[in-house]
Amino acid sequence: MLKYCIEKNRKSFLSLLLVLSMAFAMFALPVTAFASESEGAGAKISFSDESIELNKKKSKQLSLNKNGMADDAVISWKSSNKKVASVSSSGKVKAKKVGTAKITATVKGTDIKATCKVKVVHTKTFRVRATGYCNCRRCSGPGHPRTASGRRPKQGRTLAVDRRKIPLGSKIIMKGKTYYAEDTGSAIRGNKIDVYFKSHGRARRYGVKRVTIKVYYKK
């Protein structure tokens, strides 16, 4: 009788193990298949541009490359600073104020992600009349070793501007080179700038030019 009970219990235990194994296989198989389909070996996502510059109040649709991902993979979007740049559920970025933010795209249910740095700027492009000047008495008058911004002028960096149109400290791109609005002048009004040179001869040789400048405002 005792031997019969032991044999019966052993068979019941084995039957229970078999049922549990089958149940585990039924639930585990779909999960494994989904994971394999949505994030295969080497699957990743990446932005077409790792960083972008976007003017304030402008929008841009980010382009995301899905390498090895399933077509139905769901992407979630997040901005590190919504006050600077927000992002929609489809990856469209809207620039709000000057600053930087990181946009992160993540494949839902995985740790696969990519980031894009967004620099929000406030710029204006316009044509100006450019002339040259130096720090001599004829160009700047007596007693002006420093610019209106308090910095010493430097060739290749310093521009004199109308501060009502271009605030001091603004970055200015002219003919592919970077300058800064550091000085003012009684004759500098409206769409006119003065380019600083370290000698009067170079300032005179610069002459008068019509150029296009791109101004980066701080706000």
Q: Name all domains of the chain by residue range, CATH numbers in brackets.
A: 42-121 (2.60.40.1080), 123-217 (2.40.40.10)
pLDDT at residue 210 is higher than 60: yes
pLDDT greater at residue 22 or residue 118? 118
- Mean of pLDDT values over 147-171: 96
179 contacts 82 by C-beta, under 8 angstroms: no
85 conformational bin, left if phi > 0, alpha if psi -120 to 50, beta if neither: beta
Q: Which pLDDT score, from 0 to 100, does residue 143 have?
A: 61
pLDDT greater at residue 78 or residue 5? 78
Residue that the structure tokens 């019509």 belong to:
210
Among 11-15, 118-122, 131-135, 206-210, the minimum mean pLDDT is found in 11-15
pLDDT at residue 164 is higher than 60: yes
56 contacts 95 by C-beta, under 8 angstroms: yes
Q: Report the first-to-last Cα separation within the chain, whole angstroms.
A: 92
Among 12-21, 57-66, 197-206, 209-218, the minimum mean pLDDT is found in 12-21
93 contacts 59 by C-beta, under 8 angstroms: yes
Alpha carbons 9 and 16: distance in angstroms, whole number: 10
Q: Which pLDDT score, from 0 to 100, does residue 10 have?
A: 55
Alpha carbons 119 and 3: distance in angstroms, whole number: 80
pLDDT digits (tens, 9 = 90+) for 78-100: 999 999 999 999 999 999 999 99
Q: Which pLDDT score, from 0 to 100, does residue 42 have?
A: 73
For residue 122, count other CB atoms closer than 10 A to its CB.
Answer: 16
Among 13-22, 64-73, 78-87, 139-148, the minimum mean pLDDT is found in 13-22
Among 1-10, 128-137, 173-182, the minimum mean pLDDT is found in 1-10
For residue 21, give the H/E element and its range: helix 2-38
pLDDT greater at residue 57 or residue 37? 57
Looking only at the bridges linking them, the beta strands covering 171-174 and 208-217 are antiparallel
Q: Which pLDDT score, from 0 to 100, does residue 11 have?
A: 54
User: Considering all CA atoms of the chain, what is the largest pairwise distance in Å, rounded to the nearest integer?
Assistant: 124
- Residue 19 — pLDDT band, cuts 50, 70, 90? low
